[in-house]
Amino acid sequence: MWDGTDGRYDQSALRRLVEAERGRADRAAGVARRHEILMETAVETMRPFHRRMARLHRATEGRHRAAADLHAGYVDAVKNWAAGRADVPPAFLAAVAENAGVRSLAVTLFSSPGTAAVVVSDPVAARANDLECVFGEGPSREMPGVCAERELSSRWPRFGPAAREIGVRAVVSARLGLREAPLGTLTAYRPEPEPDAEIARSTELVADALTATALHPSTRLDAEDGLPVHPLFGDLDLEVVVHQATGMVMATHDCTAPDALALIHARAYAQDESVIEVARTIVNRTSTLS
């Protein structure tokens, strides 16, 4: 999907993105340096202004450098795969997670009334995110923040204990999109009981980098699927099949959409399968939930 021919593995397109982000970082750094100089030479009343501008542009520089570094890590993974040093094509979020030092990441994008799409970096993130879907509660569905082990069960009485069973003892989440227009959540599922400040910062940087690239309004849309032309969306798990299955359960059980979705979630939890796996069996008519 990256360029319409070679999918998201087009190395030249990836390199251009990295170079563009580094260029933006360099420009922001240049502006910050000018304001830092003016902080020392300007009249006293103007120094607070130059201090604020310097901080603003240093923060902008940091976001763009983080975006460049994350995508550069993916370029290296693609290069290794293209050279035959890896058996399977790299997944973008898995490469990002490795680069950021946060193994289990999930990107959850929302649309009314529920989850629209999910991208995960590893099986732990996939299972934890599915537990959120099953129970209708969890870190990706609430205000971003940090939650240590002692808070998991008290904050999310169903998700917390189930998450601990798969090795998740703490979570860190960050907003995707702008503050005034949030698009979703980036969640890090952690095996340590207390997520440290560096993990929280890494999660924030990754969220900012994805907001500035994959989710930026200027990102070109693919002509076929209408999704942004960015490698993140190559691993997207659209939940259209869940909506299809919900409609079929409504018809066969003569129930409302919330009741049908609750039946699907209950079957997924009882069989230790993902909601999407159960939905596919319903759509393929290998299961009717009867």
The CATH number covering residue 156 comes to 3.30.450.40
More confident residue, 269 or 205: 205
Residue 201 pLDDT > 50: yes
Task: Select from 67, 89, 111 the last residue of a domain.
Answer: 89
Percentage with pLDDT > 90 across the chain? 39
| Per-residue confidence band for 223, with pLDDT thresholds at 50, 70 and 90 | low
Residues 67 and 82 in one domain: yes
Structure tokens at 4: 């319409």
**Residue 91: its pLDDT value, please?**
87
Within a domain: residue 140?
yes
Residues 148 and 211 in one domain: yes
Residue 40 pLDDT > 80: yes
Residues 135 and 168 in one domain: yes
Within a domain: residue 2?
no
User: Which residues, other chains included, contact 261 with Cβ-Cβ below 8 Å and sequence gap of 6+?
Assistant: 242, 246
Within a domain: residue 30?
yes
Place of tokens 């066969």: 252
Sign of CA dihedral 151, 157, 160, 165: positive
Within a domain: residue 288?
no
Domain count within the chain: 3
Percentage with pLDDT > 70 across the chain? 91
The domain spanning residue 248 has which CATH number?
1.10.10
**Residue 216: its pLDDT value, please?**
83
pTM of the model: 0.77
Q: What is the DSSP letter of 235?
A: G
More confident residue, 241 or 161: 161
Highest mean pLDDT, choosing among 41-45, 53-57, 174-178: 53-57
Within a domain: residue 290?
no
| Per-residue confidence band for 218, with pLDDT thresholds at 50, 70 and 90 | confident
Residues 84 and 104 in one domain: no
| Per-residue confidence band for 23, with pLDDT thresholds at 50, 70 and 90 | very high
> Per-residue pLDDT averaged across 64-80, rounded?
90
More confident residue, 277 or 147: 147
Within a domain: residue 289?
no
Residue 225 pLDDT > 70: no
Residue 280 pLDDT > 90: no
Contact 232, 92 (CB under 8 A): yes
Mean per-residue pLDDT over the chain, rounded: 85
More confident residue, 235 or 214: 214
Q: Which residues of 21-47 are buried (b: 16+ CB within 10 A; e: fewer)?
A: bbebbeebbebbeebbebbeeeeeeee
Residues 79 and 99 in one domain: no
Residues 234 and 98 in one domain: yes
**Residue 111: its pLDDT value, please?**
64
Within a domain: residue 262?
yes
Residues 110 and 213 in one domain: yes
**Residue 284: its pLDDT value, please?**
82
Residues 35 and 155 in one domain: no
> Per-residue pLDDT averaged across 230-235, rounded?
82
Residues 108 and 234 in one domain: yes
How far is Cα 189 from Cα 121, in angstroms, rounded to an integer?
Answer: 11
**Residue 60: its pLDDT value, please?**
93
Expressed as residue numbers, the domain containing 190 is 94-238
Task: Select from 34, 57, 89 the last residue of a domain.
Answer: 89
**Residue 226: its pLDDT value, please?**
67
pLDDT digits (tens, 9 = 90+) for 103-159: 899 999 876 555 567 889 998 998 898 888 888 899 998 888 999 998 999 999 999
**Residue 112: its pLDDT value, please?**
54
> Per-residue pLDDT averaged across 175-200, rounded?
88
Residues 73 and 98 in one domain: no
Residues 115 and 233 in one domain: yes
Within a domain: residue 14?
yes
Residues 152 and 82 in one domain: no
More confident residue, 45 or 130: 45
Residue 251 pLDDT > 50: yes
How far is Cα 14 from Cα 114, in angstroms, rounded to an integer?
Answer: 32
> Per-residue pLDDT averaged across 55-71, rounded?
93
| Per-residue confidence band for 240, with pLDDT thresholds at 50, 70 and 90 | low
